[in-house]
């Protein structure tokens, strides 16, 4: 009698397992909201030139976008007011990041490979990029907002 009960119990468990697994497979998988990979609008840009001042100097007429894609590519379209008009700084290439460090690799206007390095911070939809400048110790600081 116990043997028969155990066989029926085992058969019942084996029959119900595929149904339970099928239910798990059809349940929707929640999607994570994009956080870092997005398009950002430039809000501010400033330059820290330690030979001139210990305080960063803000650029005028900042605009444009920076798109960071999950495949590691980026598209930059930065505009600044200057020289009586608007200056454009367009770049596209690859980026990589680890912890709070980021690099942007691209080809400059003369066809030469270039890599810019710095740090980033993303908080409350604002992305702050602090990039190493020239000469060493100088910095470019960008503030962007996720679109």
Per residue in 45-65, pLDDT (tens digit) is 999 999 999 999 999 999 999
Per-residue pLDDT for 2 more than 50?
Answer: no
Per-residue pLDDT for 17 more than 70?
Answer: no
The mean pLDDT of the chain is: 83
Q: Closest by alpha carbon to 71, among 104, 95, 47?
A: 95
Helix (H), strand (E) at residue 22 = helix 2-26
For 82-116, the pLDDT digits (tens) are 888 999 999 999 999 999 999 999 999 999 999 99
């Amino acid at each position: 009698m116990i043997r028969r009960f155990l066989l029926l119990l085992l058969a019942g468990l084996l029959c119900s397992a595929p149904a339970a697994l099928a239910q798990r497979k059809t349940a929707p998988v929640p999607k994570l909201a994009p956080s870092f990979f997005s398009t950002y609008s430039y809000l501010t840009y400033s330059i820290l030139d330690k030979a001139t001042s210990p305080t960063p100097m803000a650029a005028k007429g900042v605009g444009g976008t920076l798109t960071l894609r999950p495949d590691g590519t980026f598209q930059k379209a930065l505009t600044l007011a200057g020289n009586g008009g608007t200056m454009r700084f367009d770049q596209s290439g690859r980026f990589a990041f680890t912890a709070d460090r980021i690099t942007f690799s691209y080809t400059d206007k003369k066809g030469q490979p270039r890599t810019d390095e710095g740090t980033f911070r993303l908080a409350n939809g604002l992305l702050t990029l602090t990039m190493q400048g020239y000469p060493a110790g100088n910095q470019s600081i960008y503030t962007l907002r996720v679109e």
